[in-house]
Structure 1
Amino acid sequence: MCRWAAYRGEPLYLEELVSSPAHSLIEQSHCATRAKTATNGDGFGIAWYGERPEPGRYRDILPAWSDCNLKSLARQIRSPLFLAHVRAATNGGTRRDNCHPFVHGTWSFMHNGQISGFEAIRRPMEALLSDELFHARTGTTDSELLFLLALQFGMDADPFGAMEKAIATVEELSHQKQGEALVRFTAAFSDGKQLYAVRYATDHKPPTLYAAPMGGRTGYCLVSEPLNDDVDTWVEIPDGSAVKVCAEGMQASIFQPQSLPQAA
């Protein structure tokens, strides 16, 4: 399982999530405490928003703890909205194109979880993409393909609705091809204005997600694991939740992909 952190609020330096805290994302890359595997050393990535609509991005296959460039960039880059990820690979080899966050246009996306039996449904998922989105895919992960599928289903107009439809489609294809579906999905994504996150699993065992206020009156940080031991600060986001961080603060709603027919 991977670990990630995301932020929207008053501009702050990336190091305040990535490298400075006692249990920073870099610390989690080799000593995660709330994941099946303590080590997340199969690459890392950051995506941040600045003066341009499209996010900047830096990714590499090195473990986050061994990349001096990451620490240097995190100390210098100041942003009101950014995503950061350390990877423990489940699908796709250790290569830069498979490192999160993934970007397309103004959108950025990162994921912790898995689609069980992904290879059995990969081609049907790809067939649902437009030519533009199909050719935009550069890696081999289930995460990137799920992101592109949500874009296909109208993420620009309805981010949570598009993601619900994408996951419902994955579940339906899994039932058709394998007679069962298992999707574990804790993800963050952004259009450069709002920050969105989802925690969901078909077996009600999704990867962890926590939130805490940070960076001004309406700013929030969303993380796989708390960045410190202040237990009164961090709130666990429940299974089946959609979270939006915007100018008004953090808003939560139910995330519920449409009901699907079960295999006979």
Structure 2
Amino acid sequence: MCRWMAYSGTPVLLSRVLFEPAHSLIDQSLHSRLGVETTNGDGFGIGWYTQDRAATPAVLRDVGPAWNDRNLREVAHHVHSGLFFAHIRAATGTAVQQSNCHPFRSGRRLWMHNGMINGFRLMRRDLAVAVDPALYSDIEGSTDSELMFFLALTFGLAEDPPGAVARMAGLIERTGHAHDVPHPLQMTLAVTDGERVWAFRYSSEGRSRSLYFSTEVDTLRALHPDAEFLRDISDETRLVVSEPLGDLPGAWNEVPENSYGVIQPGHDLIRDFRPAPEATRIP
């Protein structure tokens, strides 16, 4: 499995979030507390947006472990961003190669995933032929995660992210059941268009991988008035993480089972999530 984090809010140096917290994502690459594996060393990736909102996000991915990658450290200490994704990979049967590292990008959208499609080798062809032929040639790697992304794009991710992910999940479950796979899907995933972030927690068996979101900043300031780092960020700042980045009391909240959240200007949302009974390709 993998670990990931999504940040949205006041522009900061990536290193402040990736390296400085006590249980940062870099620390999790060696010492995961809640993951299936303690070590997540099969590659990493970061994707970030600049102040030019019309530009596509930048992506840096590599196959080495995050904890000793000099390029990652160099970039993280020089890049500011108000919206970025970071992911550390533990491979689940596909090759350790750059094209299999998250996040995946299509236009303005970034996508990253922790989990797996159980029985993926049995189902891969059936799922691949459901991808819009106009998109299929853009698939670069061999992971179930990237194929999930392109299925969601096929089913209308640009117009309706929750609906597209529901249609993607429904197709995977129906295909898995046709191949006698009892629990086809395990996922915590995040997708963004550069303005909003959608984060999903779902599994066919109802025992999903860990996922947390940070408490609203104004509430944290009231709880911890002496916490200096809280003075430098806006009330809109929010993180979604596979594991809490530290032990600050009241800072982290578990994303409910079978739900998704939306980080957006104004009020954030949490909604129930269920796979759709039918998957309709969006023209």
Asked if these proteins are the same fold (TM beyond 0.5), I'd say: yes
Identity of aligned pairs, percent? 39
Q: Residue 149 of structure 2 aligns to which amino acid in structure 1? A: F
The residue that corresponds to 2:110 in the other structure is 108
The residue that corresponds to 1:42 in the other structure is 42
Q: CA 1:179–1:70 in structure 2 vs 1: closer, same or farther (change >3 Å)?
A: closer
Distance across 1 between alignment mates of 2:24 and 2:8: 17
Name the SS for the 2:268 alignment partner: strand
Q: How does 1:173-184 map to 2 (within 5 A)?
A: 173-178=175-180, 180-184=182-186
Q: Which moved more, 1:159-168 or 1:169-178?
A: 169-178
Q: How does 1:109-124 map to 2 (within 5 A)?
A: 109-124=111-126
Please state if 1:255 is matched with 2:273: yes
Q: Is the 8 A contact 2:172 2:184 kept in 1?
A: no
The residue that corresponds to 1:14 in the other structure is 14
Q: How does 1:132-151 map to 2 (within 5 A)?
A: 132-151=134-153
Distance across 2 between alignment mates of 1:239 and 1:91: 26
Q: How does 1:54-203 map to 2 (within 5 A)?
A: 54-178=56-180, 180-203=182-205
The residue that corresponds to 2:23 in the other structure is 23
Please state if 1:237 is matched with 2:237: no
After TM superposition, give the deviation of residue 259 of structure 1 in Å.
4.8
Distance across 2 between alignment mates of 1:259 and 1:133: 23
After TM superposition, give the deviation of residue 180 of structure 1 in Å.
2.7
Q: Is the 8 A contact 1:59 1:96 kept in 2?
A: yes
Distance across 2 between alignment mates of 1:182 and 1:25: 28
Distance across 2 between alignment mates of 1:122 and 1:217: 43
Where has structure 1 moved over 4 Å in runs of 4 or more? Answer: none
Name the SS for the 1:178 alignment partner: coil
Q: TM-score, normalization: structure 1?
A: 0.95
Q: Is the 8 A contact 1:244 1:251 kept in 2?
A: yes
After superposition, the C-alpha distances for 1:165-186 in whole angstroms (9 at most, x for unaligned) are: 0000000011112253321100
Name the SS for the 1:113 alignment partner: strand
After superposition, the C-alpha distances for 1:22-81 in whole angstroms (9 at most, x for unaligned) are: 111110001000112110000000000112431100000000001011111111111111
Q: TM-score, normalization: structure 2?
A: 0.89
Distance across 2 between alignment mates of 1:204 and 1:177: 20
Distance across 2 between alignment mates of 1:231 and 1:93: 39
After TM superposition, give the deviation of residue 219 of structure 1 in Å.
1.7
The residue that corresponds to 2:246 in the other structure is 228
Q: Is the 8 A contact 2:6 2:240 kept in 1?
A: yes
Structure 2: gaps spanning 5 or more residues: 218-232, 279-283
**Across the two proteins, how many residue pairs are aligned to each other?**
260
Please state if 1:33 is matched with 2:51: no
The residue that corresponds to 2:227 in the other structure is none
Name the SS for the 1:76 alignment partner: coil
Distance across 2 between alignment mates of 1:74 and 1:256: 36
Name the SS for the 2:137 alignment partner: helix
